[in-house]
């Protein structure tokens, strides 16, 4: 997908918000937009998603299904959560499975409201989770997210990063505006700053000395989930509530955490919790514990 010479002006006498944007989006390479308030990030996202038109220029190759989450929801959105998810799935042409997948993702993200709760009564964090759930489960060829980590709790933020890594690796185009440290650390991300209506490259931030602690659950042999761990990671398996179930606690470097999460999700594990902790300095020797069913 390509944006060619995209310009945007609000009113004839106003200055241009976007002054000739050229941007390529390719599978496997998320694009992360940075920039101050009023720089035009949200305007660019709306045009890329098809939610707004450009004053000049064009968008070529936009996929038919777009998963879009704006920076904020309409204040008086009265639909209950369950109805909203079914409505968006119908708009996207997705079947009942999309609603089920969205509901499961909400559970993984510790959504604390019910399916019958009107959207206007949700907190910022819960509303954000609903928007993300519908955008990431509708079979979109393009996912456009405006400040998706804003308002998320500490456990949901790395889970979102892992989901975006997974959908990008599967071939979905990903375009994100982000002012936090999460977006630039997406796997293979291209970081661009919106400045003066144009785009310029921006360097990735230095890595943070943190570890990610992940708790998973599943059935069968836990070694299938442990097999994705990088060398030197810690793992501990305990029996689950069922006869063939297990719970797994992983401790990996935060640089590897999102990739491990994405691999675990792909192998059918359920994410119970995710949190980040400062690394212990000096770091104690880490050991690998064999997982046994």
Q: Give me 244's structure tokens.
A: 């063939």
What is the tens place of the pLDDT at every residue in 183-207? 998 989 999 999 999 999 988 766 6
Distances (CA, A) of 23 to 20, 27, 215: 10, 14, 38
- Cα 51 from Cα 57, distance rounded (Å): 15
CB 105 within 8 A of CB 162: no
- Cα 219 from Cα 115, distance rounded (Å): 27
* Model pTM score: 0.74
Nearest to 194 by CA among 206, 176, 169: 176
In terms of Cβ atoms closer than 10 Å to its own Cβ (0-12, 13-18, 19+), residue 227 is exposed
CATH topology of domain 210-278: Alpha-Beta Plaits (3.30.70)
Residue spans per domain, the chain: 2-201, 210-278
Tell me the mean pLDDT per 10 residues along the chain, length 293.
Answer: 95 86 94 92 96 96 96 81 93 90 92 91 91 95 95 86 92 95 90 94 72 81 63 65 74 76 78 74 41 43
- State the pLDDT at residue 199: 95
- State the pLDDT at residue 227: 63
- Cα 256 from Cα 288, distance rounded (Å): 15
- Cα 181 from Cα 190, distance rounded (Å): 14
Distances (CA, A) of 105 to 1, 130, 132: 27, 9, 9
- State the pLDDT at residue 231: 56
- State the pLDDT at residue 257: 77
- State the pLDDT at residue 13: 67
Nearest to 17 by CA among 49, 44, 57: 44
- Cα 254 from Cα 286, distance rounded (Å): 15
Nearest to 259 by CA among 154, 204, 188, 192: 188
Upstream peptide bond of 282 is cis (omega within 30 degrees of 0): yes
CATH entry 3.30.70.2190 includes domain 2-201 = no
């Amino acid at each position: 997908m390509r944006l060619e010479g995209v310009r945007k002006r609000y009113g004839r006498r106003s200055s241009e918000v976007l002054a000739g944007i050229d941007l390529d989006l390719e599978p496997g390479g998320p694009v992360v937009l940075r920039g101050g308030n009023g720089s035009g990030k949200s305007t660019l996202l709306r045009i890329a998603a098809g939610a707004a038109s450009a004053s000049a220029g064009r968008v070529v190759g936009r996929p038919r299904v777009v998963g879009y989450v704006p920076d904020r929801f309409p204040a008086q959105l009265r639909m209950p959560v369950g109805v909203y998810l079914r409505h968006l799935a119908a708009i996207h042409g997705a079947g009942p499975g999309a609603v089920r997948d969205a509901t499961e993702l909400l559970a993984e993200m510790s959504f604390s409201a019910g399916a019958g709760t009107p959207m206007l009564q949700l907190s910022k964090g819960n509303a954000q989770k609903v928007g993300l759930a519908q955008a990431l489960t509708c079979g979109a060829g393009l996912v456009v997210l405006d400040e998706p980590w804003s308002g998320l709790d500490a456990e949901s933020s790395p889970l979102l990063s892992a989901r975006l890594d997974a959908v990008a690796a599967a071939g979905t185009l990903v375009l994100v505006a982000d002012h936090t440290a999460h977006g630039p650390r997406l796997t293979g991300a291209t970081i661009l700053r919106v400045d003066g209506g144009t785009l310029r490259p921006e360097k990735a931030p230095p890595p943070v000395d943190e570890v990610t602690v992940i708790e998973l659950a599943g059935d069968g042999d836990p070694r299938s989930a442990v097999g994705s761990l990088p060398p030197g990671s810690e793992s501990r398996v305990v029996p689950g509530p069922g006869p063939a179930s297990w719970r797994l606690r992983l401790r990996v470097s935060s640089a590897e955490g999102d990739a491990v999460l994405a691999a675990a999700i792909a192998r059918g594990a359920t994410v119970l919790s995710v949190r980040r902790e400062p690394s212990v300095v000096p770091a104690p020797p880490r050991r690998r514990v064999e997982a046994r069913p």
